[in-house]
């Protein structure tokens, strides 16, 4: 009833090409956005912020970044953890070297630093593709983690080898450090998520995005029709690393506060983000959010069900988590390779026709 | 001879032995990739699973004991018997064949004709699944594996080299055994694919699925066969690595070490896997010895193999022995 396009007239091309062509969707989008910006910060408590919302927002940024590279441009990357580490260490060095700099600038600059590193490791993608490239990005993963472990300059010669986020403010409100209010952490991340999702959406439906998709679908054909593979691939690597760098910076400064590189940004993180992209849906902005929400929620739900309700030991639940995630990956690839986003799309199609089958 | 050079030679020799171990894992990859075009990320976890199963059967552990105890409030752990090593290995082979059948039945039968990258991601999912199952089944604590392989320093080489150079080389007996077994395994695999009917069918499938189907080769059977062989290779690798450093989670990470080996040797070539393994094994040990430890603060073994493979690939994208990649629109 509600979900109809009948009577929803468009009078210009711009309107026809908008992100949410159906009125109900458009309203839903604004309602969610307003609720996220003006309701959630007032009701959020420490548990919700640190267990669900903040990790969800940060992983959503990382998943968006990886989705640009893997979903839109077709370059599989297993180096996400390494690039997140670059973002984290860049923000740490900036915060300690320029204490007066505000956190927005710090985070965005960390994104640019990561983009530069990403471009460097993206260079081999011009010669090698597919699995070969996936392994090449593993080189980035292991090399970067090793580098941050071994070179004391990166962790300011601290004895433990850890990096700790000092307290920094935005407009007089504390956003990093141990004394931060949960709503401040949440709002700070939300601003980045909304801005970056908007950028990603508009990049992927413009010229740049179409070039990426042409490369993904068939790179040689794309080259013949005039897409420059060098620029398309490198821009995908750059933009993707920018997103992932910001996610890494937020992960360190806002979420964890203290980081040991091998633990926080190991290969497992790369796989986690890749799984978010696969489960959510390759080549879909909504899918990045859905995948991030799903994989952040799953361990929490399992813990509540297994440990709190059934009284199982935590290690069994952790192993079950692995089994379920693995099975889900396979399940999604078999049943719906385009992930949750495609399921959502199908639901919408059905709703538009409801109650008629055709 | 100067000490430094002798020491370097010893490092290189040990690198060769480590390379054999990498090659063992890489072999499993190559087998599956050749016959089905699937890049099997789960190979390392399969080695872990095989080794854990072997230890579990040997000690008469009850599978899923932890889970059963937690669910039903019981307290069972062991059957109370010990299985001799040979019988345990045979039983593990049976388990790996059952696993191969299930993988084919529940996963890859449904993914025929998908893009290679989708298949690759499916094997990553499979790896996670199998790792969780292995931990649930046999418990995640570190286990020692003992199937009666000789271990420790080889006295003969030590004394012989001491007499010749005045410096005894340290070579682990286990590494020598691993090398011999690896050589036998490769010889066996080559003989199998050259001289048996199933082997020929396997090569036919590797060449062209469609053509193989049309001359009456059962694709399903071949895939189960290939996964079983890969499971067997994983078991051998699991035994070697398990005997060397204990059966624990890090075993599954040797898959990550085998990847650069493959890139270097080429995905489709058994000799490539071996040569690649040796190059990487020697390369990373020597690099650590000559440059890593003195100048870079050590632990370069973590990334050296990848960076070497990466640099190499930029000049020769198909690897040393790989088939040339031809692309057409």
Handedness of CA A229, A234, A239, A240 (dihedral sign): positive
How far is residue A150's CA from residue B21's CA, in Å, rounded to a whole number?
27
The whole-chain average pLDDT of chain A stands at 85
B245 or B134, higher pLDDT: B134
Beta strands A173-174 and A169-170: pairing type? antiparallel
Question: What is the maximum span of chain B, computed from C-alpha positions, in angstroms?
Answer: 67
Q: Nearest chain A Cα to B113, which residue?
A: A334
Per-residue pLDDT reduced to its tens digit, B146-160: 776 776 677 677 677
Please list, in sequence order, all residues whose beta carbon lies within 8 angstroms of the beta carbon of residue A317, skipping any fewer than 6 positions away: A302, A303, A306, A307
Q: Are A242 and A114 in contact (CB under 8 A)?
A: yes
pLDDT band at B325 (very low <50, low <70, confident <90, very high): low
Cα–Cα distance list, A53 to A31, A44, A187, A188, A272 (Å):
18, 9, 10, 12, 17
Per-residue pLDDT reduced to its tens digit, A196-244: 999 999 998 889 999 999 988 888 888 888 888 888 989 999 999 999 9
The total of other beta-carbon atoms located within 10 Å of residue A37's CB is 13
Per-residue pLDDT reduced to its tens digit, B18-76: 788 788 888 888 877 877 777 888 888 888 889 888 888 888 777 777 777 777 777 77
Beta carbons of B267 and A131 less than 8 Å apart: yes
Q: What are phi and psi of B61, to 5 degrees?
A: -75, 145
The total of other beta-carbon atoms located within 10 Å of residue A174's CB is 17
How far is residue B28's CA from residue B34's CA, in Å, rounded to a whole number?
10
Residue B223 confidence (pLDDT) above 80: yes
Beta carbons of A320 and B136 less than 8 Å apart: yes
Residues of chain A contacting residue B108, judged by C-beta atoms under 8 Å apart: none
Per-residue pLDDT reduced to its tens digit, A103-160: 888 999 999 999 999 998 888 877 777 777 877 788 888 888 888 888 878 887 877 7
pLDDT band at B328 (very low <50, low <70, confident <90, very high): low
The total of other beta-carbon atoms located within 10 Å of residue B183's CB is 12
Cα A309 vs. chain centroid, distance in angstroms?
31
ipTM higher than the 0.85 cut: no
For residue A305, is it left (φ>0), alpha (ψ between -120 and 50) or beta? alpha
Residue A247 confidence (pLDDT) above 90: yes
Beta carbons of B124 and A274 less than 8 Å apart: yes
Residues of chain A contacting residue B250, judged by C-beta atoms under 8 Å apart: none
Q: What was the pLDDT predicted at A108?
A: 93
Q: What is the pTM of this model?
A: 0.86
Interchain CB contact of A274 with B (< 8 Å): yes
Q: What was the pLDDT predicted at A166?
A: 79
Residue B280 confidence (pLDDT) above 60: yes
Residues of chain B contacting residue A327, judged by C-beta atoms under 8 Å apart: 125, 129
How far is residue B314's CA from residue B329's CA, in Å, rounded to a whole number?
23
- Nearest CB among A131, A313, A329 relative to B70 is that of A313
Residue A290 confidence (pLDDT) above 60: yes
Beta carbons of A325 and B121 less than 8 Å apart: no
3-state secondary structure chain A: CCCCCCCCCCCCHHHHCCCCCCHHHHHHHHHHHHHHHHHHHHHCCHHHHHHHHHHHHHHHHHHHHHHHHHHHCCCCCCCHHHHHHHHHHHHHHHHHHCCCCCHHHHHHHHHHHHHHHHHHHHHHHHCCCCHHHHHHHHHHHHHHHHHHHHCHHHHCCCCCCCEECCCCEECCEECCCCCCCHHHHHHHHHHHHHHHHHHHHHHHCCHHHHHHHHHHHCHHHHHHCCCCHHHHHHHHHHHHHHHHHHHHHHHHHHHHCEECHHHHCCHHHHHHHHHHHHHHCCCCHHHHHHHHHHHHHHHHHHHHHHHHHCCCCHHHHHHHHHHHHHHHHHHHHHHCCCHHHHHHHHHHHHHHHCCCCC
Q: What percent of chain B shows pLDDT beyond 90?
A: 1
How far is residue B229's CA from residue B225's CA, in Å, rounded to a whole number?
6
Give the H/E segment covering residue B108.
none
Tokens 């998943």 — which residue?
A63
The total of other beta-carbon atoms located within 10 Å of residue A65's CB is 33
Beta carbons of A329 and B306 less than 8 Å apart: no
Query: Which of B33, B107, B125, B292 would you mutate first to test chain A, the one with the most A CBs within 10 A?
Result: B125
How far is residue A192's CA from residue A40's CA, in Å, rounded to a whole number?
16
The token duo for B159 is 């004394």
Q: Are A232 and A215 in contact (CB under 8 A)?
A: yes
The token duo for A288 is 């990045």
How far is residue A215's CA from residue A72's CA, in Å, rounded to a whole number?
9
How far is residue A245's CA from residue A260's CA, in Å, rounded to a whole number?
17
Interchain CB contact of B298 with A (< 8 Å): yes
């Amino acid at each position: 009833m509600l979900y109809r396009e009948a009577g929803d007239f468009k009078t210009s091309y711009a309107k026809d090409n908008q992100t949410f062509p159906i009125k109900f969707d458009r309203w839903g989008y604004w309602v969610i956005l307003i609720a996220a910006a003006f309701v959630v910060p007032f009701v959020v408590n420490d548990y919700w912020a640190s267990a669900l919302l903040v990790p969800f927002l940060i992983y959503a940024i990382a998943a968006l970044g990886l989705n640009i590279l893997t979903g839109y441009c077709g370059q599989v990357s297993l180096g996400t953890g390494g690039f997140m580490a670059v973002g984290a260490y860049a923000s740490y060095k900036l915060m300690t070297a320029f204490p007066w700099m505000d956190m927005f600038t710090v985070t965005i600059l960390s994104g640019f630093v990561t983009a530069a590193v990403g471009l460097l490791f993206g260079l081999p993608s011009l010669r090698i593709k597919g699995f070969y490239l996936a392994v090449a990005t593993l080189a980035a993963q292991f090399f970067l983690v090793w580098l941050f472990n071994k070179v004391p300059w990166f962790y300011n010669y601290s004895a433990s080898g850890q990096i700790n986020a000092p307290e920094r403010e935005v407009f007089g409100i504390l956003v990093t450090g141990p004394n931060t209010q949960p709503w401040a952490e949440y709002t700070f991340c939300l601003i980045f998520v909304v801005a970056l999702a908007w950028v990603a959406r508009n990049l992927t439906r413009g010229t740049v995005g179409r070039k990426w998709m042409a490369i993904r679908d068939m790179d040689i054909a794309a080259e013949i029709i005039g897409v420059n593979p060098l620029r398309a691939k490198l821009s995908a690597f750059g933009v993707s690393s920018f997103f992932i760098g910001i996610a890494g910076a937020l992960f360190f400064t806002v979420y964890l506060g203290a980081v040991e590189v091998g633990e926080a940004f190991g290969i497992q993180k790369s796989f986690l983000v890749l799984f978010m992209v696969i489960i959510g849906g390759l080549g879909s902005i909504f899918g990045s959010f859905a995948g991030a929400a799903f994989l952040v929620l799953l361990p929490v739900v399992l813990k509540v069900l297994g440990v709190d309700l059934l009284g199982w030991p935590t290690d069994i639940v952790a192993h079950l988590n692995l089994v379920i995630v693995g099975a889900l990956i396979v399940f999604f690839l078999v049943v719906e390779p385009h992930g949750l986003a495609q399921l959502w799309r199908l639901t919408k199609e059905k709703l538009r026709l409801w109650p008629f089958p055709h | 001879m100067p000490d430094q050079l002798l020491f370097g030679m010893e490092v290189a020799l040990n690198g060769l032995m480590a390379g054999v171990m990498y090659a063992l894992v890489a072999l499993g990859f190559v087998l599956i990739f050749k016959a089905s075009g699937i890049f099997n990320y789960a190979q390392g976890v399969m080695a872990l699973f095989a080794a854990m199963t072997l230890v579990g059967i040997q000690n008469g552990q009850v599978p899923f004991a932890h889970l059963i105890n937690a669910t039903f409030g019981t307290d069972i752990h062991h059957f109370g018997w010990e299985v001799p090593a040979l019988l345990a290995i045979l039983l593990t082979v049976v388990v790996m064949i059952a696993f191969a059948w299930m993988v084919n039945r529940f996963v890859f039968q449904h993914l025929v004709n998908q893009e290679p990258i989708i298949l690759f991601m499916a094997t990553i999912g499979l790896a996670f699944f199998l790792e969780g199952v292995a931990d649930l089944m046999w418990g995640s604590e570190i286990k020692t594996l003992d199937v009666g392989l000789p271990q420790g320093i080889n006295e003969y080489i030590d004394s012989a080299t001491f007499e010749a150079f005045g410096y005894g080389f340290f070579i682990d007996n286990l590494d020598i055994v691993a090398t011999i077994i690896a050589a036998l395994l490769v010889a066996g695999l080559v003989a199998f694919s050259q001289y048996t009917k199933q082997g020929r069918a396997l090569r036919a499938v590797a060449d062209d699925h469609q053509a193989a189907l049309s001359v009456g080769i059962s694709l399903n059977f071949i895939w189960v066969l290939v996964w079983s062989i890969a499971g067997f290779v994983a078991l051998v690798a699991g035994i070697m690595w398990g005997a060397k450093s204990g059966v624990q989670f890090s075993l599954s990470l040797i898959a990550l070490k085998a990847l650069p080996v493959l890139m270097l040797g080429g995905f489709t070539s058994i000799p490539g896997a071996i040569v690649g393994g040796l190059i990487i094994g020697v390369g990373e040990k020597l690099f650590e010895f000559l440059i890593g430890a003195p100048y870079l603060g050590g632990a370069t073994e973590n990334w050296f193999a990848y960076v070497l493979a990466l640099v190499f690939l930029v000049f020769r994208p198909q690897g040393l022995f790989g088939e040339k990649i031809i692309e057409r629109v």
